[in-house]
Chains A and B, each alone.
Chain A
Amino acid sequence: MERTKDAKKRVRTATWLSVIPGIGQFYNKQTFKGIAFLVVFALFIYEMIVFGFAAFTGMVTLGLTPGEDHSLFLLIEGSLQLLLTVIFFLFYAINIYDARKVAIQIVEEKKINKTAKDILKNVYHNGFPYLFTIPAYLVMIFAIIFPVLVTIFISFTNYDFYHIPPASLIDWVGFENFINMFFLSSYRDTFIAVLGWTIIWTLGATSLQIAIGIFTAVVLNQKFIKFKRLFGIIFLLPWAVPAFITIMSFSNMFNDSLGAINSQVIPFINSLVPFIDLGALPWKTDPFFTKIAIILVQGWLGFPYIYVLVSGILQSIPEEQYESAKIDGAGPIQRFRHITLPTILMIAAPVFITQYTFNLNNFNMIYLFNEGGPGSIGAGAGSTDILISWIFKLTTGTSPQYSIAAAVTLFISIFVITIALIVFKKTKAFEMED
C-alpha cells in the first residue's frame, strides 16, 4: 500500500518536472537524455526570441508600410514558424510521455538505460523505423503539407492583381473569398457552372471508361477467341502512349474545319450507313459538342487500365462457379450479373474510386484538348473548364485572382476528402490489418 502511493507520487513528479523538457529525465537519472532534451528546448526558445515572435507578429499584420514590407514573405515566414511550432509541441508531448513511461519502468524495477551508449543503442533499435520514414516525411511536408497550409492562409487574404507585393500590401479579409464564391453573383454563377460541369464530367467520363473496360475484358475473356494476344496489345496502346500526346492529337483531329473527324470519319460513316447524313459538327466551337468529345476521348484513354485490372480478376474466378450456375439454368446475362459483376466490384472498387478522383482533377484532358474553351462563362473560366483548370487560369491569367484560386482549391480538397472518406468507410477497402 505504502509502496504504490510512493510509486504514484514518483511517476507524477517525473511527469510534472518534464514541463521543462529534460528535467523529468534528470529526475529519472537519465542524464544524457535530459541534456539532449534540454538543449532542444533551449534551441527552440532561442529561435522564438530571435525569429519566431517577429514571424508571428508579421503574419498577423502582413506588413505595415507598402514597398518596404513584403506581405507574401511575411506570410510564408509565419507559416514556416507555425509548422516548426507544431513540430516542437509534438516533441514536447513525446518528452512528457517519455518521462512518465520511464518513471513507471523505474517503479516497476525494470532495467533503465542510463549511459549515453545504452541510450544511443536503444535509439538505433527503436528509432530505426523513424530513421527510414523521416526522409519521406520531410519531402512530403515541404511539397504537400506546407503548400496546403499556405493555400489555406492565402484563401483568407485579398491577394490578387490589385495587391501585388512589394508595391502594395496584402490584408486579411476573413471569409470574403468564400462569401464571394457562394453568394456574390459574378463569382457564384461561374463557380456553380464550373462545379456542375466538373461533376458531370467526372461521373460521365469515369463511368464510361469503367463500362468500356469491363465490357472489353469480359468479351476478350471468352475462350474461342483467336489472336487474343494481338488484341490484348492493341487494347493496351492508349495506356502505353503518354496521354498528353494523344490528347493533343485528338485536339487536332476534332478541329471544326480541317480535323480528321469532320473531314474523314463523318463522311465515312455517312457512306457506310444508309439513311444517315451527318454534316460537319462544331466540335470545338459549341460547348455541348466539346463536352461530348472530351468525355469520349477520356473513355478512349482510360479504359485500358480498367480492362487490364478486370481481366486479372476474371481469370481468378473459378470455372466451377459458372458451371454450377449454368446447371441451375442461369443465362449468360444472369451469370454476369450475379457472379462476374459482384466479384469485380468487390475487388476493384478502391481502384475505381481513385479513377473518379483522378478525373475530377484531370487537368491535361480539359486544358490540352481545347484550353477549357470554347468561349467564356465569366470570371476567367471557359465553358468546359473544370475546377482544377479554372484554378490554373485564375493563377496564370493576365489579371490573376490568387486568393479566389486558393479558396477554390480548398473547396476541392475538402470535397474530395469528404467523399473519399465516406466511400472508403462504406467499402471497407482500406481497413487496416491490425
Chain B
Amino acid sequence: MSNLFRSQKSSRFFTKFFTYAFLLLLSVIILYPLLITASSAFKAGNISAFDLSFDATWTLDNFRRLFTETLYGEWYINTLVIAFVTMIVQVILITLAGYTFSRYRFIGRKKSLMFFLLVQMIPTTATLVAFYVMALLLGALDQSWFLMFLYIGGGIPMNTWLMKGYFDTIPYDLDESAKLDGAGHFRIFAQIVLPMAKPMIAVQALWAFMTPFGEYMLAKFLLRSPENYTVAIGLHTFISNPQEQKVALFSAGAILIAIPISILFFMLQKNFVSGLTAGGTKG
C-alpha cells in the first residue's frame, strides 16, 4: 500500500519537474533572440553581429542616428499612411460584405461564398508578373496607392469569410424584432448588429493594420526609390549588405516597430482568440 503510494507521489514529482523544465526551456528559447535584438539597440559602436552580452557601453545614440542619418522616419510615416488607409477601407468593405452574406438570402449568395472561398486560396502575391504589367500601364511603379489597393483587395476574400462567420454567431432575434418595429436596412445594420460585432471588427482592423508593417515581397517589388520604402524593406537594407551590417541601427528601428505593435496585439488578444475559433469553426 505504502509502496504504491510512494510511486504515485514520485511520478507526480517527475511530471512537475519535466513540466517546469519544459516551460522554462521554451521561455528561454523565446526570450533569447528577442533580448539580443532589444539589447543591441542600446549598444554603442558599429557592431556587425549580435549576441547576448552585457559588457558593452550603453547609449541612446542609435536612435538619434536612426532619425538623422537614415530615412527611417520617412519609412515609418509611409508605412503608417499605408497601414491606416488599408485598415479603414478594408474594414468597411469586409464588414458590409460579411454582414450581407450572413443576414440576407439573395440570388447568387451561395455561389459568391464558394467563389470567395476559392479565390482565397490563390496565392495573390504570386501574380507578381501581372501586378508589374498593370503598374507599368498605370504608371504606378513606385507609387504607394497601388500597393494599398493590392493589400486591400488581397485580404478581402478570407476576411469576408471570417466576418461572415462572426456575424452568424450574433443572434437573429434582435434584428427580427427591429424589423417588426419598422427599422430599415441601414438602421438594423448600423444600430443593432454592428455594435455587437465590435470585437471582430477590432481584430480585423488590427490585422489589416499590421499587414503593411510585415509585408515584404510586394513592397520590395513595387517601391523602387528608398524614400518611398516601408519599414520592412528599409530595415532589411541595414542587414542585407554583408560588407556593412548596421545591426545596432536595425535593432533600434525594430524596437520602435515591435513595441507599439505588440501592445496593440496584447490589448486585442482576447478578441481574436474568440474571433478565430468562431470564424474557424462556424464556416
Contacts and interface: CB of A to CB of B under 8 A. Distances in A.
Contact of A412 (B15, B20, B126): B126
Contacts of A258: 48-49
A235 B124 contact: no
Interface stretch (B68-76, B94-102, B193-201): B94-102
Interface in B162-219: 168, 185, 210, 213-214, 216-217
A377 to B, nearest CB: 20
A130 B153 CA distance: 18
A312 B20 CA distance: 21
A273 interface: no
B217 A367 contact: yes
A424 to B, nearest CB: 8
B97 A242 contact: no
Contacts of A172: none
A245 B258 contact: yes
Given A154-B133, A252-B49, A412-B123, A132 B22 contact: no
Most buried by B among A216, A248, A413, A430: A248
A220 interface: yes
Given A132-B99, A133-B100, A144-B154, A72 B136 contact: yes
A416 B123 CA distance: 8
Contacts of A242: 210, 213-214, 257-258, 261
Interface residues of A, number: 102
B273 interface: yes
Contact of B153 (A126, A139, A236, A312): A139
Contacts of B235: 244-245, 248
B124 A237 contact: no
A174 interface: no
Nearest to A246: B33
Nearest to A414: B122
B3 interface: no
A62 B149 CA distance: 28
B110 A252 contact: no
Interface stretch (A35-43, A114-122, A389-397): A389-397
Nearest to A389: B217
A409 B131 CA distance: 13
Given A240-B265, A246-B33, A140 B119 contact: yes
Nearest to A230: B27
B167 to A, nearest CB: 12
B126 A388 contact: yes
Given A248-B236, A395-B221, A154 B160 contact: no
Given A133-B96, A216-B26, A313-B277, A75 B217 contact: no
A130 B13 CA distance: 63
A104 interface: no
Contact of B221 (A132, A396, A417): A396
B266 A148 contact: no
A143 B97 CA distance: 16
A73 B31 CA distance: 52
A86 interface: no
Contacts of A222: 15, 19
B128 A140 contact: no
B5 interface: no
A364 B266 CA distance: 23
Interface string B16-42: 100110110011011111101100000
A54 interface: no
A260 interface: yes
Nearest to A424: B117
Contact of A144 (B49, B93, B101, B122): B122
A140 B156 contact: yes
A300 interface: yes
> Considering the complex of A and B, which 6 residue pairs feature the smallest CB-CB distances, nearest first?
A143-B153, A258-B49, A147-B130, A150-B130, A260-B51, A136-B97
28 contacts: A76-B137, A128-B104, A135-B92, A140-B119, A143-B149, A144-B122, A147-B131, A147-B134, A149-B130, A154-B133, A234-B30, A237-B30, A242-B213, A248-B236, A249-B36, A253-B33, A253-B49, A258-B48, A263-B51, A309-B277, A347-B280, A347-B281, A387-B126, A388-B123, A392-B217, A406-B129, A406-B130, A409-B128
Interface of A: 72-73, 75-76, 126, 128-130, 132-133, 135-137, 139-140, 142-151, 154, 159, 216, 219-220, 222, 224-225, 231, 233-246, 248-253, 255, 258-260, 263-265, 300, 308-309, 312-313, 347-348, 350-351, 357, 360-361, 363-364, 367-368, 371, 387-388, 391-392, 395-396, 402-403, 405-406, 408-409, 412-413, 416-417, 420, 424, 429-434
